[in-house]
Amino acid sequence: MLLWLMHVKKHLSFGGLRKMLSAHFLSLAEYRQYGKITYRLHDVCMSGVAVMFFQDPSLLQFQMRMQEKLQRNNLQTLFQVEHIPQDTQMREVIDRIESESVSTLFLDFFRALQRAKYLQQYLFLDGQYLISLDGSEYFSSEKLWCPGCLRKEDKKGNVRYHHEILQAALMHPIMRQVIPLAPEAIKNTDGTTKQDCEINAAKRLVKRIRRDHPKLRIIIVADSLHSKQPFIEELHRLGMRYILVVKEDDHKILMEWVNEQRQLQEVCRLRVKDWKGRLHVYEWINGVPLNGNQETVWVNYCEYWLYDETGKNTYHNSWVTGIPIGEDNVREIVRGGRCKWKIENEVFNTLKNQGYHIEHNYGHGKKNLSMNFFLFNLLAFFMHQIFELSDGLYQQCRKAFGSKRNLWDHLRVAIRLLIFPDWQVLLMRVLRPSEFL
Ligand SMILES: [Zn+2]
């Protein structure tokens, strides 16, 4: 058992993940004509991931220079790239790769984590998993566009083109690391006049999650946009549970019902003071109509207020869920619902602000370039999350350097100066430089 676990954990090491990436990119169908190929698809895709992995737009240039001087380079040793492509060639090739063929890597990484038992720490409310959904824009322009672009026109007639995705991530209230699943593109397709939207993307996304994970017991966490009857019915069909935000403006009938019950004192209440002196107030009621439809869905409702030690209200929110609420689980349900901020904070803010340069213009391309770069970026983020969970040396580095940004600054400098045979040696070098003198 122990040997087996050691074996499956190996898949999560840098070398194990690289092998998965490598095998996947080698299996991609070549769309170019034989004879016109200068760089293998494998080398081009691995280079793209490496750029995102090191969060360094000039990675290829520097490693090419190293190759010229020393006949070796870090893209070769770390990512097994035989020939480093030029930047423009990399973009042209990546633009034409179907994004769906890159997306499947998320499932490979997820399964590796699952097999090595790392997901057990994410179990929530009797063997279930919280999967949070949130939309984000990753490209915007007034000039560049493609058929998949969403279009927004202001009152003056100025058009803005943009790309959005709906992201899903597995998370747990006390776990810092989030596990991204493959995102769903919110994009227009040929032949439809109506623009795609987050709600439609959410329906496609949950169907795909169910197809990829037929047995996983899932609770979907999302904002008020999704606490609508068609989406909840879809979740019922897929055997998923949910904790969804509800807002007064969007759910008038439901809120009226709750207020009436409150006046009749039919609402359950729990007040808890924590060790910091903060007061948590929970109210809930089971069996509430979601809306005024004759065929409405009946849901369970809870509301939560947080007061700081001075009595000031610092947080307030309400959710609906299919899970029957009681005094024993109301706190967990609220913690699950509040988890949603993690996808904004830990995923999108990290991608945008912690050096991942997600909004940095890696290019829009003619077909799939911006989406594929977004996917490479998210895969790199996923790899870093896996190291935080499983790579002891990386964990030591994270501790030693304080911020993630600081650590990666050092890693970037190191690979510009020296060639490293593997990831472990690179980490050792930045962690204990004096041992290498
Ligand atoms: Zn576009």
For ligand 1, the distance from its centroid to the CA atom of residue 390, given in whole angstroms, is 37
For ligand 1, the distance from its centroid to the CA atom of residue 103, given in whole angstroms, is 18
- C-beta separation of 307 from 313 below 8 A: yes
For ligand 1, the distance from its centroid to the CA atom of residue 161, given in whole angstroms, is 7
For ligand 1, the distance from its centroid to the CA atom of residue 180, given in whole angstroms, is 23
The reported pLDDT for the residue numbered 223 is 93
The reported pLDDT for the residue numbered 323 is 97
Q: What are the CA-CA distances from residue 321 to residues 39, 251, 425 (Å)?
A: 51, 14, 49
For ligand 1, the distance from its centroid to the CA atom of residue 372, given in whole angstroms, is 12
CA-based nearest residue to 279, from 329, 246, 327, 316: 316
- C-beta separation of 425 from 414 below 8 A: no
Per DSSP, the three-state class of 254 is helix
Q: What are the CA-CA distances from residue 65 to residues 43, 58, 60, 156, 417 (Å)?
A: 17, 11, 9, 49, 11
For ligand 1, the distance from its centroid to the CA atom of residue 144, given in whole angstroms, is 7
- C-beta separation of 165 from 185 below 8 A: yes
For ligand 1, the distance from its centroid to the CA atom of residue 124, given in whole angstroms, is 38
pLDDT tens for the 437 residues of the chain, in order: 677 777 778 888 999 999 999 999 999 887 777 777 778 999 999 999 999 999 888 889 999 999 999 999 999 999 999 999 998 899 999 999 999 999 999 999 999 999 999 999 999 998 999 999 999 888 888 888 887 788 888 888 888 888 889 999 999 999 999 999 999 999 887 656 678 889 999 999 999 999 999 999 999 999 999 999 999 999 999 999 999 999 999 999 999 999 999 999 999 999 999 999 999 999 999 999 999 999 999 999 999 999 999 999 999 999 999 999 999 999 999 999 998 887 777 777 777 766 655 555 577 888 899 899 999 999 999 999 999 999 999 999 999 999 888 999 999 999 999 999 999 999 999 998 887 66
CB environment 249-266: b (16+ within 10 A), e (fewer): eebeebbebbeebeeeee
For ligand 1, the distance from its centroid to the CA atom of residue 147, given in whole angstroms, is 6
How far is Cα 305 from Cα 321, in angstroms, rounded to an integer? Answer: 18
For ligand 1, the distance from its centroid to the CA atom of residue 195, given in whole angstroms, is 13
Name the DSSP class of 345: I
For ligand 1, the distance from its centroid to the CA atom of residue 384, given in whole angstroms, is 28
CA distance between the termini of the chain: 41
pTM to 2 decimals? 0.93
For ligand 1, the distance from its centroid to the CA atom of residue 146, given in whole angstroms, is 4
Strand-strand pairing, 129-141 and 218-222 = parallel
Q: How many helices (H) and strands (E) does the chain have?
A: 17, 11
For ligand 1, the distance from its centroid to the CA atom of residue 73, given in whole angstroms, is 34
For ligand 1, the distance from its centroid to the CA atom of residue 35, given in whole angstroms, is 30
The reported pLDDT for the residue numbered 361 is 54
For ligand 1, the distance from its centroid to the CA atom of residue 369, given in whole angstroms, is 9
How far is Cα 287 from Cα 311, in angstroms, rounded to an integer? Answer: 31
For ligand 1, the distance from its centroid to the CA atom of residue 60, given in whole angstroms, is 25
For ligand 1, the distance from its centroid to the CA atom of residue 55, given in whole angstroms, is 23
Name the DSSP class of 433: G
For ligand 1, the distance from its centroid to the CA atom of residue 42, given in whole angstroms, is 25
* Residue 279, both tokens: 């007061």
- C-beta separation of 210 from 203 below 8 A: no
For ligand 1, the distance from its centroid to the CA atom of residue 386, given in whole angstroms, is 31
For ligand 1, the distance from its centroid to the CA atom of residue 163, given in whole angstroms, is 6
For ligand 1, the distance from its centroid to the CA atom of residue 25, given in whole angstroms, is 24
Name the DSSP class of 33: P
Beta bridge mates, 316: 305
What are the tens digits of pLDDT across the range 408-433?
A: 999 999 999 999 999 999 999 999 88
For ligand 1, the distance from its centroid to the CA atom of residue 364, given in whole angstroms, is 6
For ligand 1, the distance from its centroid to the CA atom of residue 138, given in whole angstroms, is 10
For ligand 1, the distance from its centroid to the CA atom of residue 329, given in whole angstroms, is 45
How far is Cα 61 from Cα 75, in angstroms, rounded to an integer? Answer: 11
The reported pLDDT for the residue numbered 83 is 94
How far is Cα 353 from Cα 330, in angstroms, rounded to an integer? Answer: 34
| Coarse DSSP helix, strand, coil percentages of the chain, rounded to the nearest 5 percent | 45, 20, 35
For ligand 1, the distance from its centroid to the CA atom of residue 175, given in whole angstroms, is 35
For ligand 1, the distance from its centroid to the CA atom of residue 346, given in whole angstroms, is 26
For ligand 1, the distance from its centroid to the CA atom of residue 367, given in whole angstroms, is 7
What are the tens digits of pLDDT across the range 263-319?
A: 999 999 999 999 999 999 999 999 999 999 999 999 999 999 999 999 999 999 999
For ligand 1, the distance from its centroid to the CA atom of residue 339, given in whole angstroms, is 31
For ligand 1, the distance from its centroid to the CA atom of residue 333, given in whole angstroms, is 39
What are the tens digits of pLDDT across the range 362-376?
A: 778 888 998 999 999
What are the tens digits of pLDDT across the range 66-83?
A: 999 999 999 999 999 999
For ligand 1, the distance from its centroid to the CA atom of residue 110, given in whole angstroms, is 28
For ligand 1, the distance from its centroid to the CA atom of residue 368, given in whole angstroms, is 8
For ligand 1, the distance from its centroid to the CA atom of residue 165, given in whole angstroms, is 12
For ligand 1, the distance from its centroid to the CA atom of residue 89, given in whole angstroms, is 19
The reported pLDDT for the residue numbered 355 is 60
